[in-house]
Amino acid sequence: IMTIRIAPSILSADFCNLQRDLDAIATADLVHVDVMDHHFVPNLTLGEPIVKRICEVTDLPVDVHLMIEDPDRWAPEYARLGAASVSFHMGAAHAPVRLARQLHDMGCKACFAVRPAEPVEPIFDILDEFDMILVMTVEPGFGGQKFLDNQMGKVRRLRDEITRRGLSTSIQVDGGVSASTASVVAQAGADVLVAGSAVYGSGDPRTAIADIRRTAQA
């Protein structure tokens, strides 16, 4: 039986009340921080100074999702600031294996991310280099989009490959995850569920986390 981990995305938090909104998700397993650069995705969020403070004030492992160009240059900076894991995109990384090894050398977990139109099979040959694979279930860039259930085949094929080879790789799903989609996601084989608007849009993050956890584990 797989342990499901819930990772609220602070993209939907109140950026003027980050401390409060981090405290509000203390029952989660990770905090997911979306870094966007106006180039890899058409949105701009936050960068190193804010990630640094988040790492300092939260007790949760900080999971940084880089939606930026040239992660080869920037991902190690986030590891240095204290991120527990850093995700970078297939569509942006120049040397993903080298970057994963560099992150590991810094004591940071490495995660490879694929957008909805990107296949997961090309990762199979380098799967053992990563702690986690992130399957996007929306086009990256914005919170509050509709869940793409057509990504579940990808999650299943990835889970089958991980199981077949006896690896311990986690599968993270990000985009449109809520208590209504959590069971589909978990049944397909994902074990790390990111949720932004479902957690912070609910007015009661603690209950929303519990609801997602319960439906995922049912």
Task: State the residues that interact with ligand DX5 by CB under 6 A.
Answer: 9, 11-12, 32, 34, 65, 138, 140-145, 174-177, 194-198
Active-site residue, selected from the candidate residues 34, 131, 191, 211: 34
| Interacting partner of 205 out of ligand DX5, Zn ion, none (Cβ under 5 to 8 A depending on kind) | none
Residue 51 CA to residue 57 CA, distance in Å, equals 10
Per-residue three-class SS string for 124-156: HHHHHHCCEEEEECCCCCCCCCCCCHHHHHHHH
| Interacting partner of 141 out of Zn ion, ligand DX5, none (Cβ under 5 to 8 A depending on kind) | ligand DX5
Active-site residue, selected from the candidate residues 21, 174, 191, 211: 174
Interface with Zn ion (CB under 5 A), residue from 69, 174, 191, 211 = 174
Strand order in the sheet with 5-8: 5-8, 192-195, 170-174, 132-136, 109-114, 85-89, 62-67, 31-36
Q: How far is the CB of 150 from ligand DX5 (least distance, A)?
A: 16
24 close to 205: Cβ distance less than 8 angstroms: yes
CA–CA distances in Å: residue 27 to residues 24, 30, 31, 207, 211 = 8, 9, 10, 10, 12
User: Any contact of residue 65 with Zn ion (CB under 5 A)?
Assistant: yes
| Interacting partner of 96 out of Zn ion, ligand DX5, none (Cβ under 5 to 8 A depending on kind) | none
Beta carbon nearer to ligand DX5, 161 or 209: 209
Nearest CA-CA partner of 204 in 212, 215, 194: 212
User: Any contact of residue 29 with Zn ion (CB under 5 A)?
Assistant: no
Which residue sits closest to ligand DX5, CB atoms considered?
196
Known catalytic residue: 174? yes
Residue whose pair of structure tokens reads 């999650």 in the numeric block: 155
197 is annotated as contributing to ligand binding: yes
167 close to 191: Cβ distance less than 8 angstroms: no
User: Any contact of residue 34 with Zn ion (CB under 5 A)?
Assistant: yes
Known catalytic residue: 59? no
Nearest CA-CA partner of 104 in 77, 124, 76, 67: 76
Catalytic residues: 34, 174
Binding residues for substrate: 9, 65, 141-144, 174-176, 196-197
Task: Using CB under 5 A, list all residues that contact Zn ion.
Answer: 34, 65, 174
